[in-house]
Amino acid sequence: MAFDLDMIKKVYDRYSTRVAAARKATGKPLTLTEKILYAHLSEGDAQKAFARGVDYVDFAPDRVAMQDATAQMALLQFMQAGRPKVAVPSTVHCDHLIQAKIGAEVDLNTAKDTNKEVYDFLASVSDKYGIGFWKPGAGIIHQVVLENYAFPGGMMIGTDSHTPNAGGLGMIAIGVGGADACDVMAGLPWELKFPKLIGVKLTGKLSGWSSAKDVILKVAGILTVKGGTGAIVEYFGEGARSLSATGKGTICNMGAEIGATTSVFGYDEKAAIYLRGTKREGIAALADTIKEHLTGDAEVYANPEQYFDQVIEINLSELEPHVNGPFTPDLAWPISKFAAAVKENNWPATLEVGLIGSCTNSSYEDITRAASIAQQAVDKHLKTKAEFTITPGSEQVRYTVDRDGYLGTFAEMGGVVLANACGPCIGQWARHTDDPTRKNSIITSFNRNFAKRQDGNPNTHAFVASPEIVTAFAIAGDLTFNPLTDTLTNEQGQQVKLDEPQGLEMPIKGYAVEDAGYQAPAEDGSKVEVKVDPKSSRLQLLDPFAAWEGTDLTGLKLLIKAKGKCTTDHISMAGPWLKFRGHLDNISNNMLIGAINFANNTADSVKNQLTGEYGPVPATQRDYKAHGIGTIVVGDENYGEGSSREHAAMEPRHLGVRAILVKSFARIHETNLKKQGMLGITFADPADYDKVQEDDSIDIQGLTSFAPGKQLTVVLHHKDGSSDSFAVNHTYNAQQIEWFKAGGALNIIRKQMAN
Ligand code: MIC
Ligand code: SF4
């Protein structure tokens, strides 16, 4: 598992020269984000980068991380690229496929059994191609990366939208689709439009009930789920330096919820403490040698307005704990206003379950702070009213907090420890409820709370808060309780108040673990055989997608015009469908089943224009495909927000959808569509969305002269014989147009590798 000190040394060796050159070329002081990006430019792309935002720029990331639910597709694609070994250090983490039902041990064993085929596949592919393999039970990708691989000033990509977690240790870490990971592992550059820069200046110091999580809950409220699109968020100021590295990780992790490309903090004493505490003194020593480059220039932080596109200032001394939700992570409530909001909106005030942990919030500090609240439930004779679960982020954290007695405290309070995995966060939760039709509330310390996300139940109102606030709410069982001001009645009929949480940033006795769960790849993997059973329902080798036919697209049928929020959870649901993440045809049966059809306000019910009948989206699409008829999907703002899962792009591609036309796209999803050779376009005038009717046949014109920056035209032929025509935008550059023409980026790589 050893991190690669030589690799880090190489990065640092070129770092200072690159930064100096960039400062000279741009003639100005630099933000940290610019420094790291400039230090990772592919040869020859400096001028494009300095021009900022003009075009896509090529980067050379240092690492790749993949989690099991996305690694399958990423590696199925990599296997087609024809390379003997990965070109950069890469790891696979088995975390998403473990279902939470009874408790850690039983659930882990069940998962090993039910997912055996997939784990064996991932293990053997990793072995063959030189990829580090983290076994089921080892922990959640982002926590394991923070503990083992993240380093200040580095750049990595990961096939998961919460990859930015590593920004807590000063790394530019970006979530991507599997096809992007495949490129980097194949030794190709990785492209990104040079991001906008958002600066968040933190002043003051946290105290009492407020925690790092509240910083991002507040930022989400300010920026909303779209506000960070196309931007990297850089945190700085004395407040930033006062936060623990893991607290910073929490903030960067949940930055995915504002659509930010990533978030990052500078290298400081807290980062050094964490590196040393996780047995990486060597990295801290190296980082110290170029310390001044691992943070933004002083001039930038003194006058941030001059250097960032947007600046937000938050005073940590005044920051209240927040609760965000329900149904969207940007509906932010300071705790003092939350009870009133619950009453006014008629949200179920009774709290049924409190869940702490996940990749976002399961550091030693988080667990100790939450445990200090749990301990009070025991000491003050309070009976915990709601169910309570704990999901440790890694085996190292779990082992350490268990050794130090904290898991015992949670057990005394009535908590259940789940496996070191995603579990309830990603709908892998066999929640037991007496009546699923009842409107109900849960609260988690996770990051996402879209409808149905945790338990698949649309009646569940999910709220997000810090682990200590979640623990207090679980004890009270009531969302109108304010732990800062209110009392609770204990089992002896007395009124008691919870004291402020107390925690430890790092374990006094140090981290420990018996078996971290790592498996190193074979030195020479050429003899390792990777088997995929052709009859498998879970794995399927990929067939290349067909190339573009060379003409405009005409006579497309409208498959669905999705109304309102359409996240990747709506397009390709997780939970029970996770088991098909390695089988494109089977998982395609979930395509868009969560999207709301504008014509009847119903999910998974669309009109088949060939029969006039309403049916499920996937079946309807398969019927069009069988008749050789292409279709189009229309959507609203921020289409594809949320996860990095490329299945949301591959499924429509596989089933014969020809274009996705929306008001706007979320970044990762838009790239995923392009990579898979799909046409992703946006209304030049968002009001044209209203012109699309249920029985429309649609043409897309201008493809024969498809060029960067040049609009295309959409013509709607309505049922009554009338028609509408309007311009649509796209963001394809010359290279991406080639992907479209070839039927997908992989078709091009495959050709290149064969030559
Ligand atoms: C998530 O939090 O939604 C996931 C599950 O981790 C996803 C990845 C996936 O869909 O596999 C993500 O955030 O990218
Ligand atoms: Fe897993 Fe949830 Fe973290 Fe995604 S957000 S990696 S599902 S714990």
Per-residue pLDDT reduced to its tens digit, 706-741:
999 999 999 999 999 999 999 999 999 999 999 999
Residue 4 is predicted with a pLDDT of 84
Going by pLDDT thresholds of 50, 70 and 90, the confidence category of residue 44 is confident
Residue 755 scores a pLDDT above 80: no
Residue 56 is predicted with a pLDDT of 84
Going from the Cα of 438 to the center of ligand 2, the distance in angstroms, rounded, reads: 26
Catalytic residue chosen out of the listed positions 45, 62, 95, 696: 95
Share of the chain above pLDDT 70, in %: 99
Share of the chain above pLDDT 90, in %: 95
What mean pLDDT value characterizes the chain? 96
Residue 51 scores a pLDDT above 80: no
C-alpha dihedral over 543, 544, 546, 548, to 10 degrees? 160
Q: Which of 422, 645, 667 to mutate to test the pocket of ligand 1 (most atoms within 8 A of CB)?
A: 645
pLDDT in tens, 328-385: 999 999 999 999 999 999 999 999 999 999 999 999 999 999 999 999 999 999 999 9
Residue 53 scores a pLDDT above 70: no
Residue 185 is predicted with a pLDDT of 97
Nearest alpha-carbon partner for 664 in 331, 227, 206, 18: 227
Question: How far apart are the C-alpha atoms of 155 and 38, rounded to whole Å?
Answer: 11
Nearest alpha-carbon partner for 685 in 729, 716, 723: 729
Contact 548, 706 (CB under 8 A): no
User: H-helix or E-strand containing 219?
Assistant: helix 212-223
Residue 55 is predicted with a pLDDT of 74
Contact 549, 747 (CB under 8 A): no
- Tokens 């200072």 sit on residue: 16
Contact 539, 616 (CB under 8 A): no
pLDDT in tens, 212-270: 999 999 999 999 999 999 999 999 999 999 999 999 999 999 999 999 999 999 999 99
pLDDT in tens, 596-611: 999 999 999 999 999 9
Our answer on whether the CB atom of 65 is closer than 6 Å to any ligand 2 atom is: no
Residue 674 is predicted with a pLDDT of 98
Residue 42 scores a pLDDT above 60: yes
Average pLDDT for 305-323 = 98
Question: How far apart are the C-alpha atoms of 687 and 123, rounded to whole Å?
Answer: 49
- Euclidean distance between the first and the last CA atom of the chain, given in angstroms as a whole number: 35
Instruction: Take atom 1 of ligand 1 and give the residue whose Cα is closest.
Output: 643
**Coil, strand, or helix at residue 683?**
strand
Residue 418: nearest ligand to its CA?
Answer: 2
Helical ranges in 580-661 per DSSP H: 584-587, 617-626, 647-655
Question: How far apart are the C-alpha atoms of 313 and 189, rounded to whole Å?
Answer: 35
Alpha carbon of 384 to those of 390, 478, 527, 528, 593: distances in Å?
14, 11, 55, 52, 37
Going from the Cα of 716 to the center of ligand 2, the distance in angstroms, rounded, reads: 40
Instruction: Please count the CA atoms within 13 angstroms of the CA of 544 that sit on its side-chain side.
Output: 16
Establish whether 18 is a catalytic residue.
no
Going from the Cα of 425 to the center of ligand 1, the distance in angstroms, rounded, reads: 9
Residue 54 is predicted with a pLDDT of 66
Residue 1 is predicted with a pLDDT of 52
Residue 753 scores a pLDDT above 80: no
- Interacting residues of 535 by C-beta distance below 8 A, sequence separation 6+: none
Give residue 528's identity as a one-letter amino acid code: V
Question: How far apart are the C-alpha atoms of 161 and 257, rounded to whole Å?
Answer: 9
Structure token digits, residue 175? 């979530």
pLDDT in tens, 552-599: 999 999 999 999 999 999 999 998 999 999 999 999 999 999 999 999
Establish whether 645 is a catalytic residue.
yes
Nearest alpha-carbon partner for 161 in 149, 173, 146: 173
Question: How far apart are the C-alpha atoms of 65 and 90, rounded to whole Å?
Answer: 6
Our answer on whether the CB atom of 355 is closer than 6 Å to any ligand 2 atom is: no
Residue 428 is predicted with a pLDDT of 86
Q: Determine the atom of ligand 1 nearest the C-alpha atom of 647.
A: 10
Average pLDDT for 158-171 = 98
Q: What is the DSSP letter of 393?
A: S
Residue 159: nearest ligand to its CA?
Answer: 1
Residue 2 is predicted with a pLDDT of 60
